[in-house]
């Protein structure tokens, strides 16, 4: 990496570590990720388009689902194209500014999704626990405010985290042992003792992941209590059915995110981190449209 580093100065360019010296393995992974990337883009774009163009889907639940699809598109597009280039090309370098930009957008979309999933849980809580007041309380104005707050929180956290990380000096080596500019592998390249920086990033991760998750747990706790006292088995089944897709998405997203960012540093390994990164950047965003379309008659009808 010496060709990208000025003598005595902080690293100005980075390079992503090569996945494998075997060209066949890189080509196979490139093909799999490309197919999943295209499937994710197509599925999420179709859902967002179907919701926007179908008046019967202009409800709070589908408004949030359209926002989720847009977030998933941004989420994958901020990471996957550069990942694909690094797999099949020797041009694996990325400037400090480019790395910071990728980190900002990745963090923005990830944190916004955390908040939006909490807003979707609140919407389900209002629909099941206060059905008579649902239409008036979950107005277009409130839905728009919840979506804007989700995006704004992601933007603020993304700017803060990125500025905090890239205010540090990077002394080398400048090789990022990862597929993209994620927080832990970039912080590992910083000069000197970074224990305080790691602690600060860990605290922010706990707040950003656990706070929305606690709101989701609280919402579903109230929903479960309401469902258990419903007299009609059909009503209970319908209420649980409307929540099942969201619960599955929450499990996939928060499960992979928690394992990645909240587990002890000693248990981190580059290989495991890369597999987890592939899962929460490619696999979950590809599965979300399938989950929502398979479990939802209105979405399936709109996609026909």
Residue 122 lies inside a defined structural domain of this protein: yes
Residue 223 lies inside a defined structural domain of this protein: yes
CA angle in degrees (0–180, nearest 5) for 258-264-267: 100
What pLDDT score was predicted for residue 214?
93
Mean pLDDT calculated for residue range 151-155? 95
Residue 284 lies inside a defined structural domain of this protein: yes
Residue 26 lies inside a defined structural domain of this protein: yes
What pLDDT score was predicted for residue 102?
94
Question: What is the 8-class DSSP label of residue 18?
Answer: P
Mean pLDDT calculated for residue range 175-183? 86
Alpha helices in the chain (DSSP H): 23-53, 60-77, 80-88, 96-129, 134-137, 140-166, 183-187, 195-228, 233-261, 270-278, 284-294, 297-303
Q: 154 is in which domain, residue-wise?
A: 22-303
Residue 17 lies inside a defined structural domain of this protein: no
Q: How far apart are the C-alpha atoms of 92 and 14, rounded to whole Å?
A: 8
pTM of the full structure: 0.88
pLDDT tens digits, residue range 52-85? 998 888 999 999 999 999 999 998 999 999 888 8
In angstroms, the Cα distances linking 292 to 48, 257, 304 are 12, 20, 14
Band of pLDDT at residue 209, cut at 50, 70 and 90: confident
Structure tokens at 108: 């923005």
Q: How far apart are the C-alpha atoms of 188 and 21, rounded to whole Å?
A: 23
Give 82-90's long-range contacts (Cβ < 8 A, gap of 24+): 82/16, 82/180, 83/33, 83/179, 83/180, 84/30, 84/33, 84/34, 84/37, 86/16, 86/18, 86/19, 86/179, 87/19, 87/26, 87/27, 87/29, 87/30, 87/33, 88/26, 88/27, 88/30
Residue 68 lies inside a defined structural domain of this protein: yes
Mean pLDDT calculated for residue range 115-127? 94
Mean pLDDT calculated for residue range 257-277? 73
pLDDT tens digits, residue range 38-52? 999 999 999 999 899
CATH number at residue 257: 1.20.1070.10
Residue 142 lies inside a defined structural domain of this protein: yes
**Number of structural domains in the chain:** 1
Residue 161 has pLDDT above 80, yes or no: yes
CA angle in degrees (0–180, nearest 5) for 258-259-261: 65
Q: What percent of the chain has pLDDT over 90?
A: 35
The enclosing H or E element of 13 equals strand 13-16
Residue 15 lies inside a defined structural domain of this protein: no
């Amino acid at each position: 990496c010496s060709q990208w580093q000025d003598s005595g100065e902080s690293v100005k360019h980075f390079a992503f570590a090569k996945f494998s010296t075997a060209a066949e393995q890189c080509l196979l992974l490139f093909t799999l990720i490309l197919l999943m990337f295209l499937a994710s883009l197509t599925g999420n774009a179709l859902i967002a388009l179907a919701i926007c163009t179908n008046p019967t889907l202009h409800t709070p639940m589908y408004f949030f689902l359209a926002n989720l699809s847009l977030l998933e598109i941004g989420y994958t597009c901020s990471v996957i194209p550069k990942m694909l280039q690094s797999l099949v090309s020797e041009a694996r370098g990325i400037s400090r500014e480019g790395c910071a930009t990728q980190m900002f957008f990745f963090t923005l979309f990830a944190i916004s999704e955390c908040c939006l999933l909490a807003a979707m849980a609140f919407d389900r809580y209002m629909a099941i626990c206060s059905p008579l007041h649902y239409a008036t309380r979950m107005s277009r104005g409130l839905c728009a405010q919840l979506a804007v707050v989700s995006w704004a929180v992601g933007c603020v956290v993304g700017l803060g985290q990125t500025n905090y990380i890239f205010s540090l000096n990077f002394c080398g080596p400048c090789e990022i042992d990862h597929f993209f500019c994620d927080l832990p592998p970039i912080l590992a390249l910083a000069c000197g003792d970074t224990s305080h920086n790691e602690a600060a990033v860990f605290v922010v991760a706990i707040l950003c992941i656990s706070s929305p998750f606690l709101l989701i747990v609280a919402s579903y706790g109230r929903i479960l209590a309401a469902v258990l006292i419903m007299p009609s088995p059909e009503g209970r089944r319908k209420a649980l059915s409307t929540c099942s897709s969201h619960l599955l998405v929450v499990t996939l997203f928060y499960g992979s995110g928690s394992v990645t960012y909240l587990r002890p540093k000693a248990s981190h390994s580059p290989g495991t981190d890369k597999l987890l990164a592939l899962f929460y950047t490619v696999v979950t965003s590809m599965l979300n449209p399938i989950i929502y379309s398979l479990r939802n008659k209105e979405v399936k009808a709109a996609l026909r």
